[in-house]
Amino acid sequence: MHGSVALLIQIGLLLVVLTVLGALARKVSLSPIPLYLLAGLSLGEGAIPLEPSASEFIETGALVGVVLLLLTLGLEFSVTEFAASMRKHLPSAWVDLALNATPGALVGWFLGLDFVGILAMAGVTYISSSGVVSRLLTDLRRLGNRETPAVLSVLVLEDFAMAVYLPLLAVLAAGGTWVNAVVGIAIAILALAVTFLASYKWGHVVERLVSHPDSELLLLRVLGLALLVAGLAEFVHVSAAVGAFLVGLTLSGETAVRVRELLSPLRDLFAAIFFVSIGFMVDPAVMIPMLPLAVVLAVVTAATKVVSGMYAAKREGVARPGQLRAGTALIVRGEFSLVIIALVGESIPVIEAIAMPYVFVLAFVGPVATLLSGRVTARPRLQRRVSRPARARRSEPPSG
């Protein structure tokens, strides 16, 4: 079959399947993310083969999906408010790092890995998935919740930590020296500081430059700027998600509202591709041998992530139900863990064997736990609303 024909048919069939899965999930009031992950798992190695061009489309679409998810998330907030929230949550970042990197480091030490292997395992268990979490908050209509600024602050501070971590791991995994690693870290931190300062100080200038009454030109300008900044961020080993998020923060008012409306359908399309890509990168045959250890590690780090998320929400003055929602929202791991696996997987195969099933388990369980936490915390409020009229009726004198 001609390459372009196979590409169009395979991508078309994939989108049709995702349509059915998404409709099924929403019919039973679930997030479609777990079903999209299973769809991805059924493709690629050891499953339904795809044309190389179709595989490349999924990988590229996944990267665009992360950029769009974080761009639209940044549009929900102002840079001033978010900067204040991040300053408040620096202690939360340290708690998050200590609780969630330690289990991975201990597993690496238990397996007899060297420093690079231990460092890689610590990163796999530490970093949450910004892309999945942002989609969950949107799907579950929690962007306006009191705990959401705490969740986003933790996510972005994790992404900032990646600006130090990824250059260090990349250089050491490739056999480079500590001097090379320090230089890479310094460049990444400088680029991140300049980008954040530009968003904070000159965001109004950027907004005037991209704003336009014509919807097509506005969409092209914002999307082009977001992809450009995300690409430059990746070039200096800073997360593309951070770059896109900062672009979203610079826009406000009517421009932000219009951009959200224009980007929403495009974001949802590429977000679905992103979730498929997580499952697509996992080889089912690789998952099985280390699956028990991966499940144990997933249970432990799901619990530690809930604790760290609850701590962050508590610093925002959020009550216990909101703290639980914040903690469960952060459980899921995804794109960053896969990047770490790609950096060291070939040189340390045991990390890929453990981390792949670990990421998939939490990418599947995280959205379910997030949904259930919202239902559990909503039940007491419902009971209170029902009980008040009942008490009022009992206090009324009998009629007739």
Q: What is the pLDDT of residues 69-118, one digit of tens each?
A: 888 877 877 667 667 777 788 899 899 999 999 999 999 999 899 999 99
What's the burial of 387, exposed, middle or buried (CB within 10 Å: 0-12/13-18/19+)? exposed
pLDDT digits (tens, 9 = 90+) for 39-57: 888 886 656 778 888 888 8
Q: Which of 130-134, 189-193, 241-245, 294-298 has the highest mean pLDDT?
A: 294-298
Residue 259 has pLDDT above 70, yes or no: yes
CB atoms within 10 A of CB 189: 16
Q: Is the dihedral of CA 93, 99, 102, 107 positive or negative?
A: negative
| pLDDT computed for residue 387 by the predictor | 44
Q: Which CATH architecture has domain 38-377?
A: Up-down Bundle (1.20)
- Mean pLDDT estimate for the chain: 81
Looking at the chain, list the stretches that DSSP marks H as alpha helix, in order from N- to C-terminal side. 3-27, 33-41, 52-74, 79-88, 90-110, 115-126, 130-139, 148-173, 178-210, 215-235, 240-250, 253-280, 284-287, 291-315, 320-329, 335-344, 349-395
| pLDDT for res 136 | 84
Tokens of 236: 């200096």
Give the C-alpha separation, 10 to 4, whole Å: 10
pTM of the model: 0.75
pLDDT tens readout for residues 349-377: 888 888 888 988 888 888 888 888 877 66
Q: 320-326 contacts: CB < 8 A, separation 24 or more?
A: 321/376, 321/377, 321/380, 322/145, 322/146, 322/147, 322/377, 323/147, 324/373, 324/376, 324/377, 325/142, 325/145, 325/147, 325/370, 325/373, 325/374, 325/377, 326/147, 326/148, 326/150, 326/151
- Higher-scoring residue by pLDDT: 62, 177: 62
CB 210, CB 251: distance < 8 Å: yes
Flag whether pLDDT at 399 surpasses 50.
no
pLDDT tens across 165-174, in order?
877 888 888 7
Task: Decide if pLDDT at 303 tops 70.
Answer: yes
Instruction: Reply yes or no on whether the pLDDT at 299 is more than 90.
Output: yes
Q: Where are the domains of the chain?
A: 38-377
Instruction: Name the residue type at position 72.
Output: T
